A = this chain, B = another copy of it.
Amino acid sequence: MTQLNFCLGIHCHQPVGNFDSVFSDAVNKAYLPFLETLDEFPSIKISLHYSGVLLQWIEQHRPEFLSLIERMIKRGQIELMTGGFYEPLLPIIPDCDKVGQIKKLTCYLTERFGCHPTGLWLAERVWEPHLPASLRDAGVTYTVVDDTHFKIAGVGEPDIFGYFLTDELGKGIAIFPISTTLRYTIPFQVPEVTIDYFRSIATEAGDRLIVMADDGEKFGIWPETNRHCYTDGWLRRFFETLEANRDWLRLLTFSEALQQCQPRGQVYLPTASYFEMMEWAMPAHTILHYEDFVNKLKECDLYDRYKMFVRGGFWRNFFVKYPESNNIHKKMLRVSARVQHAAESAPDHPAVHDAQDNLWQGQCNCAYWHGVFGGLYLTHLRSALYNRLIRAETALDTVLHKNRNWIDVTTCDLDCDGQEELLVETPLENLYFKPAQGATLFEHDFKPAAINLIDTLRRREEAYHQRIRDPAPALPPNPESTKSIHDLLRPKEADLEKLLHYDWYPRVSLIDHFLNPATTLDAFSACQYAEDGDCVNQPYQARVEKGRNRCVLEFSRDGHLYHGQAIVPFRIVKTLTIRPTRSGFDADYTIQNNAPLPMRTLFGIEFNVNLLAGNAPDRFYFVTGQSLAHPALNSRGTSARATDFGLVDEWLKIKVHFVISSAATLWRFPIETASQSEGGFERIYQSSVLLPHWSLDLAPEQKWSVSMSYRIETLEQ
């Protein structure tokens, strides 16, 4: 009689910063019903991973869930796995944080459940070959990745049916390959399909092992899966089928498999993740090219035989694809270095522990990338990362700064793009400038509210946008995914294609625009207009004058206006005064026409402000002295002769307040993206753009000036 070993693993996680309602929904619709169903089948063993984020939420809101887990552990049905506490991508965080986050979850599980987990759930299975050293340092003896990782290393069937050993310079761990086949049959096909597959690979020797491990959300949260798994009873039938085949199908936890089965051999895995992730990590046009290739291979009947040699990109290039992610990442690294520094000088200071925990929360992977889930596109997840990182910095301030009235100015290449940034930091805020790209303000962290006010994801082409534009053509048939998430994507609302405008520059603040006088609000907001100047993303000279109680930044550029054939040289100087006791800055602008011709242009200064909700009663625009009925932050409009205006957030209790010395025309409009999520294509409010602008007509040598104050004010409680 043929036999087979089967390891079943389930991983459950919700991002730091996700809404309570989503946690609650996930527990009610997926995590709890899964476990309750499993509870009826005590012979079915399983390895489970819950991220620390999720466990903390469950402990606070649904403690009975933990008691159920505990009971099932006690009877030997469940093995718990560890991981980075806040589910970071391990390769992209410093080694001390890798080890620290893993030990934190291991300690939590040991204290709460009395178990001693040594298996690690590798977030998103993002593997790099030097990981085993940190894993071993953190007490890990095994982890689980995809069979894709193995196949691209040259391990084919039947060798793949087992587990392997790997090491980084002699520090070794075991690794299990997750079956891609099973990721698509469970729970999307009738249980018999899985059992038939099991039968097809079972052997007389019975020494083969197959692994299914995937997200717990597939069992109740992904579209249609709650009805499918529970109402229609798929999960119960699946467990019944497993039980019915117990005579030849042995269910083992991963730890049991390590004890009872021999490793298949050694292997070294290249940088990899599951194959979908490697596709998403590529540039949009490369994804389309890749999809062409895969389709052609399928047409030529070559794909199945040779797909081990076909693969997409490398995870870390999400930082290149989305500089906004790179910005969070490099900021996180800066905070991590400062936490380490503080931990060395004051290891027992409670503020250092607080900073470390906030740093670790700020490493949660979900908003660092974007694939079939919203991820980076979701402003509430991105802002949660900034929130935790800013909180960590604020905690460190109390340790690292003796007096309360300080201002630090740092010049460094924060984002590793080869150009230096200018970082101004005070007890109240961080103001980060890019002299090399328009002397723009690309990050403004207001510490009392722990928010980066500028945090905006620019509108860019995504490979799937062609499906929004042209939803009609059927997708090429994918035999592996008859009902899976990847084929279910449909727009959540009509007319999403109207959002498909792409920004040619980063949506940050203090952007100096010289628009063609004919530019309209509609054209500008669609980013389809004529920029006559060359200041938006070009280098400025920077001069810093730092006193004890203020710092003055002078940014200047000899720019050009392109009027048809004529080229008008001009000089722009923007001087910012920043004080440690007041938020924001005072800005003095001077523009001088250096041409022997007149200089005619619309000069505007763009600000992007993201207060997280585009259409909420407690968040709105104001323009003092004008009869505006508090328009919503996702509204579009023009205010003539504005001098005092801004945005109010009654929830955060802050007001972003602009006062200008010379009345401007104010355009406002929202940046909204169209992105995919597991529920379909959706509109996401990214920020509110404010463009105060002036019509200039300067004679040769004529100068024009304006002053502006930009403040974040705290509303009365």
Contacts and interface: CB of A to CB of B under 8 A. Distances in A.
A319 B266 contact: yes
A265 B415 CA distance: 12
A152 interface: yes
Given A293-B302, A418-B263, A314 B129 contact: yes
A139 interface: no
Given A165-B416, A170-B333, A263-B418, A317 B286 contact: no
A268 interface: yes
A152 B289 CA distance: 13
Contacts of A91: 129-130
A172 interface: yes
A316 interface: yes
A242 to B, nearest CB: 29
Contacts of A302: 293, 296-297, 300
Nearest to A94: B169
Nearest to A286: B154
Contact of A92 (B169, B317, B417): B169
A143 to B, nearest CB: 15
A293 B309 contact: yes
A169 B333 contact: yes
Interface string A229-272: 00000000000000000000000000000000011011111110
A243 to B, nearest CB: 32
A268 B169 contact: no
Contacts of A330: 170
A297 to B, nearest CB: 8
Nearest to A412: B170
Contacts of A292: 306
A310 B313 contact: no
A153 interface: yes
A156 interface: yes
Contacts of A297: 302
A299 to B, nearest CB: 9
A166 to B, nearest CB: 8
A206 interface: no
Contact of A300 (B262, B271, B300, B305): B300
A156 B94 CA distance: 30
Contact of A271 (B129, B308, B333, B337): B129
Given A154-B282, A300-B302, A309-B310, 12 more contacts: A129-B314, A152-B311, A153-B314, A154-B286, A154-B317, A165-B417, A170-B334, A263-B417, A266-B418, A270-B271, A271-B271, A293-B305
- Pairs of residues from A and B, 9 with the lowest C-beta to C-beta distance, nearest first: A268-B316, A270-B314, A270-B271, A154-B282, A293-B306, A167-B416, A170-B333, A154-B313, A154-B286
Interface of A: 91-94, 128-130, 152-154, 156, 165-167, 169-170, 172, 174, 262-263, 265-271, 281-283, 286, 289-290, 292-293, 296-297, 300, 302, 305-306, 308-314, 316-317, 319-320, 326, 330, 333-334, 337, 413, 416-418
